Amino acid sequence: MDRTLIPKAWGFAQRVPPVALAFVASLLLSAVAVSGTILVGRDAALYLHVAEQVLEQGPGVARTLFDWPWFSLLLAGTNWLLGLPLEQSAYLWCALFMAGSCALLVAITERTFLGSGYWACLVVLSVPAFNQFRYDILREFGFWFFCILALWLTLKWYERGDWKWAALLQLAIVAGALFRLEAVFLMPVLAFCLAPELKTRQAWARLLQLSVLPIGCLLVILILALAGSDAPTARFANFWSLLSPQGILTSLDALGKGLAQGGLQEHGPDDANRIVFLGLSALIVSKFFTLCGPFAVPFLYPASWLAVRDFWQRLRPFAWAWLLYFCILELFFLRYGFLNSRYISFLNLLAVPLLTAALVVLVGRFPRYAKFLLGLALLVMLANVISLGSKKTHYREASAWIQHNTQPSDTIYYDDSRIAYYAGRGYPRMLPPQELLMAAEPDYLRSVRYFVISAKENDPSLENWLAGQGKRVLSRFANRKGETILILGD
């Protein structure tokens, strides 16, 4: 690509190789995002609590608190080896995993589409889908990194075809599965990539190399099941239920019947099922393009769609991974009834080479828009990591009140368990949410001494409930936005 197309604002960056630039810039962006954070996420508080208990009671306690605790064990091990506080080590690991993912994607893109390295940097550091989570502590960062690493190793394995690369890519899949079990979907990705070549002896030899991991995993699961260890096998069984044809059809029929009864009585159940399937597919695709941010713009130019063909031909493992993960998202929605941007964002991560190729086509055809796209991308990049909204200071203030005004033996209901975590009271598995709490059993309500909830003090339903239970507002905490935490008691 003609370097004159790269705006002068990137001149200083051209002195640094694209891969190194992506790694260092990613670390800096993560540091900026974390610096403005005063409250960890709900999942993060759970992982940190499990790690704390591992340090206090040993690794055996981990699976009693969370059935897939490997990230927490990593944090506990880091603290034990280096003495780094758990929260800081968690942010460090997440930043390193994210930087590694960015660097690998830039390396893959630059190698596949020559001269696209700096544009790949811009894309991978700006796409809102996954960059918006830099402030958080998530298992997804490890899952993303090891999946991208496995795909990078797959490309190496295609070139050389020996056992070493096959073993390394399978180890990367195992490492990814320790963060999220969904990483095992990469095994059928590899099989699909080999399918057109199975007429040759070399392809069968490669298929044999790929059989080591599945056979080994099945043996481990069988041994654990025979030994009576049900913690990991329960997670495997849950994942298998997601893929079960019987479960898929049952969930699809239930959604289809609900849709037909809700307003499509003139359509049969088969039509309703098709509408559910097509509507869900359209929803995921629309969210995918929305999460691309400004990098969805190149697809408004018809010639940029040629990048899809190049993506399929040159990076088939990524293309198959995108398609199979798309199917997993559909199955997840059918099984659990919801999707969020955090789950969908892996589609955008896999599509970074495609988005870069489409961007290169657009700026090659319309070079005058290069500076505009660069400026827009930089604004999005900063918006991903800088929050101008009100901080959740009221959570920390409520935690301090609990810590100084209650006893560890007191029974406390938390609307958000992060308040308990910051008060040094662990991370209690949440009791019924606030709406159900209002209708809870009287014996249970009498056993709770304090209620810590997010609510408005003048809420009529809350006032009626307080009068009925003989409770009153002991303290209230609000942030600049007016969001309120109330502490209720006798």
Looking at every residue in the chain, the average pLDDT score rounds to 85
DSSP 340: -
CA 202 to chain centre: 36
Which pLDDT score, from 0 to 100, does residue 275 have? Answer: 77
- Contact present, 233 and 63 (Cβ < 8 Å): no
Higher pLDDT, 185 or 162: 185
- Contact present, 38 and 57 (Cβ < 8 Å): no
- Give the pLDDT confidence of 128-180 residue by residue, as tens digits: 999 999 999 999 999 999 999 999 999 998 887 777 888 899 899 999 999 99
Alpha helices (H) along 211-315: 212-226, 231-243, 245-263, 269-291, 306-314
CB neighbours (10 Å) of residue 363?
A: 22
Which pLDDT score, from 0 to 100, does residue 317 have? Answer: 94
Which pLDDT score, from 0 to 100, does residue 225 have? Answer: 62
Q: Is the pLDDT of residue 33 over 90?
A: yes
Query: Which stretch of DSSP H or E encloses residue 50?
Result: helix 42-57
Tokens encoding 254: 């239930």
This prediction has a pTM of 0.88
d(CA 342, CA 337) in angstroms, rounded, equals 15
Residues 210-230 have a mean pLDDT of 67
- Contact present, 9 and 372 (Cβ < 8 Å): no
DSSP characters over 183-229 = GGGHHHHHHHHHGGGTTSHHHHHHHHHHTHHHHHHHHHHHHHHHTT-
Query: Which residues, 6+ apart, have CB-to-CB distance to 108 below 8 Å?
Result: 148, 151, 152, 155, 315, 318, 353
d(CA 357, CA 376) in angstroms, rounded, equals 18
Strand order in the sheet with 450-454: 412-414, 450-454, 484-489, 472-478
Confidence of residue 429 (pLDDT cuts 50, 70, 90): confident
DSSP 429: P
Q: Residues 201-239, buried b or exposed e (16+ Cβ, 10 A)?
A: eebeebeebbeebeeebeeeeeeeeeeeeeebbeebeee
Q: Give the dihedral sign, CA 168/172/175/181.
A: negative
Confidence of residue 81 (pLDDT cuts 50, 70, 90): very high
Q: Is the pLDDT of residue 418 over 70?
A: yes
Closest CA to 461 of 439, 476, 481, 446: 439
Distances (CA, A) of 160 to 166, 169, 204, 454: 10, 13, 15, 58
DSSP 430: P
Which pLDDT score, from 0 to 100, does residue 111 have? Answer: 93
17 phi, psi to nearest 5 deg: -55, 145
Confidence of residue 2 (pLDDT cuts 50, 70, 90): very low
Which pLDDT score, from 0 to 100, does residue 6 have? Answer: 47
Outline which parts of the chain fall under CATH 3.40.190.
Answer: 393-489
- Give the pLDDT confidence of 242-251 residue by residue, as tens digits: 666 666 666 6
d(CA 124, CA 350) in angstroms, rounded, equals 10
Confidence of residue 446 (pLDDT cuts 50, 70, 90): confident
Q: Is the pLDDT of residue 252 over 70?
A: no
Query: Which stretch of DSSP H or E encloses residue 142?
Result: helix 140-160
Query: Which residue, chain included where needed, has tokens 């098709």?
Result: 274
Which pLDDT score, from 0 to 100, does residue 270 have? Answer: 59
Which pLDDT score, from 0 to 100, does residue 470 have? Answer: 80
Confidence of residue 73 (pLDDT cuts 50, 70, 90): very high
Q: Residues 455-474, buried b or exposed e (16+ Cβ, 10 A)?
A: beeeeeebeebbeebebeee
Which pLDDT score, from 0 to 100, does residue 423 have? Answer: 92
Q: Please provide the CATH number assigned to the domain covering 393-489.
A: 3.40.190
